Structure 1
Amino acid sequence: MKLTIIAGARPNFMKIAPIIAAVQEKRQDGYNISYRLVHTGQHYDKNMSQSFFEQLGIPEPDANLESGGGTQAEQTANIMVRFEKELTAHPCDLLLVVGDVTSTLACAIVAKKMKIKVAHVEAGIRSGDITMPEEINRLVTDAITDYFFTTSIIANTNLQKEGKIAEQILFVGNTMIDTLLKQRSRFTPPPIWERAGLQPRQYLVMTLHRPANVDEEDNLALLINEIMSNSQQLPVIFPVHPRTAKNLEKIAVAHPRLHLVEPLGYLEFNYLVENAKAVITDSGGITEETTVMGVPCMTLRDSTERPETCITGTNELLGTDPKALAPAMQKLFAGQWKKGAVPALWDGKTSERIVAHLTKIFAVKQQETTVV
């Protein structure tokens, strides 16, 4: 069985690393399974791309499409044109895409038009917010996917409501947690740890990149001021996404306890998260990591595609109104934040289950071909 595995943006890298390891292990056990890793080049900043490959032990990609930046339409088009040439030169039995980034959507469309089966890891998650580019990517990708690997029963239910065939929905867990659990012992303090004199549970971590929070300069300034006003003199560490950096320059935010740092590597960032008092974010993936590590998390969004992090985990959805931060912070500092638990099958063995399913699927395909 020949797989083509797609990676394009930072969230993808944590999800493909354990899958590649599981494929390699299965191959060593004598199974006829191989993969070709294609990096679309969607994230081209070293700290947001290359360092993740190095830290997570992901092999050098077999191809880099170097799709670069541009508008969403330009980037989607660049990836599709270049991936079509890649797939023509190197056909496969199945394309495996992960997550909900532009690369996920673009490569899935190309494969289906070339009559290649598609498997989607993290299928079925829904925010219900069609204004999010990621939600569009999820819906379109799942509309043409053949095999749905899901992170939760909620995702299964979403797919069933959309009319997907039950046999194609495979509840396997969360590959991002595979990476987290495997790498946890290797977490390492970033330079800001010593520079700011940080101590465990005596600082906050903040990440912001979604348009609703960072595109309006006045709202971004208000949001940051509200966080600083309610953080009880604790340092706030803010690894700045390139999208956010542009507007931060315009509003000239400055505060002695606010530490703006470059995007961090996986091991350094998660060291900060694991030891933080709490995390304030608008990311989806970080809410999964905080849930597993038992760290309080405040999500500055009106909806989430990962409701299990709120229902079971340590995450709370605050919305985008900066005024929601004060009561949440009071709850945190009063020691009243929920403890949370780890969702089902977030146990570090998801990738093994995915590869086991793939080998079964391929065995069935071989059998059908033989009968014909």
Structure 2
Amino acid sequence: DDIYLRVLFIEAEQPLAVVSLDLLAVDEKILDDLRRISRRTLGEAFAVVAATHTHSAPATLFSNPLLTYGSTTFREDYYRFFLERAERAFEAASSTYPASVSLHEARVRGVGRDRNDPARPVGNIARVLSFNTPAGRILLLNYGVHPTVLGPNNLYISSDLVGYAVRHLRRRGGVKGVIFTNSAAANVSTRYTRKAQSFEEAERLGSVLAEQVLEAISSEGESLLLERIQVEKLLVSVEYEDPRAKLKELLRNLPGLVARSRGRRARALAEALAAALFLAGVGRRSALPRAARVEVDWVRADSSLGILALPFELHTDVAGMLESRAMSSGLRHFMVFSYANGYHGYLAPEGELSYEKLAQLLSAGSRRRLLEELLLLIK
């Protein structure tokens, strides 16, 4: 199926553009070029660029070694085609309509679970901004899940379950457009809900998600006034661990890590070996930069909604901590846009034996400083 670049443009005191890409992630070159196009077409709008995280999209747009495992995949001809299509999307978004806005929530069942422990709660809330315009209804859908129904053996390009959810909302729900943003999804997947790794199953799970969203937006929802939007951009310097050194440490400590896992030793061993394969691949093929700058965007709208956009695969436990901070600051609603404005790997809880923690490349000090900065930002 086709993959898309979608743009939602909100005209306000501080204009905002939300860009959703059916890609694994967003690297810095894509971010810079799309923001350049945004400035030319949408003026002073602040552009947040996020990926849906489908694992079945081309890697030929990427130059970030974390996204290519150090391989040279970038293709200039495809990138030019991508930018041409992006120009069209931004130009189409520049034609705006008056809109009333409402916020809805759906407790989603049967789609995503913790991929390490299916009994562990992960929130499973889909948050929806509904824009009702004379031209039709536009949805911004925020839900956290790995779109990996199709699995590693699939070689066809696809937006996976996200694309099927979007099409279901448009065809069955009469929705004109849907912008999907992935929330805290590091540890959430369809591992325990899918019945197969096929396009038919991706369609089924996408439809399950879409039907629950349609039920949520059938009610009135909470009205929002988005005339006043405030954006703060945080830049944090971080350091990466050497993946080869991290791999050696993991292998050295593997027996003890598995022994401490008690009732889930088989799963712990599988997660550790998967992390070892990832670290070996990155370390063998790529000279990763030892340091980088991370951009995090904090968007407040209508004094009741906060949106945190960050370039990580965010674990639901970390997202829960950040949401608690947002609620204590007086906000009623909180969204996370993961895979946004770059890519820096996993951001996982401290002290947990999981694939996400073992494959996390941020140094311990950088992770601690970043979380401190995030808690200060969310106010």
| Shorter-chain TM-score tier | under 0.3
Q: What TM-score do you get using the length of structure 1 for normalisation?
A: 0.27
Q: Write 1 or 2 for the structure with the bigger share of strand.
A: 2
Q: Which has the higher contact order (CA 8 A, sep 6+)?
A: 2
TM-score, length-scaled by structure 2 = 0.26
